[in-house]
Amino acid sequence: MPTDNRRIQGPEISTPYCVFGSSTENEDEDGCFKSTDPLSSTRKDGRALLEHRKIYMKTGVVSQAKGSAYIELNNTKVICSVFDPREIPNRVEYSQHGELFCVLKFAPFSCTTRRSHQQDAEEKELSLNLKRALEPAVCRHEFPNFQVDIYVLILESDGGSLAASITCAGLALADAHVPMYDLVTAASLGVAGDVLMKDPSEEEEKLCSQHFERSNLNHGLITVSLMGAHTQITQVWQTGSMTTTCVSESLTHLIQSCEETYPIAQRCLVKSVVDTISKKKVPEQS
């Protein structure tokens, strides 16, 4: 293995201690859904199945960036910054449309197991999905031959990382005054058998993607991003297998979630505008 001489290295092999762990707390992985009636049951964190987590959003968190945003869904924490358009590097031919350059990264300490410093396959896939979700919303013809850099860092991941990243990046783009048709918001949903869970946590995501593999039951995750005012879906990302009826049912729920998030994002942007105006006034008076 080539050694990374640009970082301080620990020993070659190290294992998370949880692997060897024994705890007095009993970990029954999926007991909470099976026995009771799925529609009335509550989840581990006390939410109903179709209840979204509370969202906190803030723009203008990174002073050096053109636009930036921070979003928090309980334990999922994502920060994003967007920079001024710059010429696309190493490009010979002229491109009619501007480009979005998206890099999504998990912080090394963001997940239960440590992540590497280098971008791995999952991060690359998520970056691509992020790019696809944002592209339709941006007026790319307004900056031909230029690219806008969008950097997303997931500080802590507890499910719905992609959805949070898309919403966060959408806000940051708006904060950076990048011309857009509409604001993009996203939501995720987990399917495990007959149970649909809005905005699943990490544990629930695992359950949806693993537990039902042996049977033919519906299982999987769907993330949808939506332009709220146009009610146009910009991207759907689905894993697992589910029937078409299940997918269309999920989509209705997801669109509803996205529409619920939309006014929160709008309010957040309005607040940042009001704040900038009131801030600007103060030094002029003094």
Partner 1 sequence: MAAQYKTIHPVKYYRDFLAHDLRPDGRSPDKTRNVTVNVNSISTADGSSTVRIGNTTVICGIKAELGKPKPDEPECGFMVPNVELPPLCSPLFRPGPPSEEAQAMTCFVSQATSDMVDLKELCVSTDNLAWVLHIDMICLDYDGCVQDACLIALSAALRTVKLPKVEYDAETKLPSVSLDERADLHVKSSPVSTSFAVFDDEIILSDPTGEEENLSSAKLSVVTDGEVILSVHKPGGSALSETQLQDCISVAKDRANLVNELINVALSSVDR
Partner 2 sequence: MADMSGQASGEDHKLRPFYCELNVLSRPDGSAIVTQGETAAIAGVYGPIEVKPNKIHIEKATVEGIYRPKSGLPCVSDRLCETTLQNTFEAAVLTSQYPRTLISISVQEMQDSGGLLACAINAGCLALMNSGLSMKFLVAAVHCMINKTGEVILDPDNKQLKDSCASLMFAFDNVDKNIVSSSTHGRFTEAQYQEALLRCRTASTEIFQLYRDMVKKYAPTMG
Size of the site for partner 1 (CB under 8 A): 50
Closer of 60 and 190 to partner 1 (Cβ): 60
Give me the least distance between CB of 3 and partner 2, in Å please: 9
Tell me the one-letter amino acid at 116. S
Kindly write down the DSSP assignment for every residue of 215-264, as one continuous string.
SSS-EEEEEEEEETTTTEEEEEEEEEE--HHHHHHHHHHHHHHHHHHHHH
Closer of 8 and 13 to partner 2 (Cβ): 8
CB-based contacts of 276, cutoff 8 Å, min separation 6: 60
Q: Is position 11 an interface residue for partner 1 (rule: CB under 8 A)?
A: yes
For 71, the token pair is 């979003």
10 binds, among partner 1, partner 2, none (CB under 5 to 8 A by kind): partner 1
Range 144-163, binding partner 1 (CB under 8 A): 149, 151-153, 155-158
Closer of 7 and 214 to partner 1 (Cβ): 7
247 binds, among partner 1, partner 2, none (CB under 5 to 8 A by kind): none
Count of C-beta atoms within a 10 Å radius of residue 207: 21
Closer of 31 and 108 to partner 1 (Cβ): 108
Give me the least distance between CB of 74 and partner 1, in Å please: 10
Give me the least distance between CB of 19 and partner 1, in Å please: 8
Tell me the one-letter amino acid at 32. C
The span of 10-18, 41-49, 203-211, 251-259 binding partner 1 (CB under 8 A) equals 10-18
CB 166 within 8 A of CB 132: no
CB-based contacts of 124, cutoff 8 Å, min separation 6: none
Taking the CA atoms of 238, 258, 251 and 46 in sequence, report the sign of the dihedral they define: positive
For 173, the token pair is 């783009």
180 binds, among partner 1, partner 2, none (CB under 5 to 8 A by kind): none
Give me the least distance between CB of 222 and partner 1, in Å please: 24
Task: Indicate the SS3 state at residue 282.
Answer: helix
Range 35-94, binding partner 1 (CB under 8 A): 61-65, 75, 77, 79-81, 83-84
Helix (H) or strand (E) holding 206: helix 202-210
Q: Which residues of this protein are in contact with partner 2, per CB under 8 A?
A: 5-8
Binds partner 1 (CB under 8 A): choice among 2, 3, 8, 92: 8
CA atoms within 13 A on the CB side of 165: 30
Helix (H) or strand (E) holding 55: strand 55-59
Range 99-118, binding partner 1 (CB under 8 A): 103, 105, 107-112, 114, 117
Closer of 5 and 96 to partner 2 (Cβ): 5
The dihedrals phi and psi of 208, each to the nearest 5 degrees, come to -65, -35
Chain residues that interact with partner 1, rule: CB under 8 A: 4, 6-11, 13-18, 20-25, 61-65, 75, 77, 79-81, 83-84, 103, 105, 107-112, 114, 117, 119, 149, 151-153, 155-158
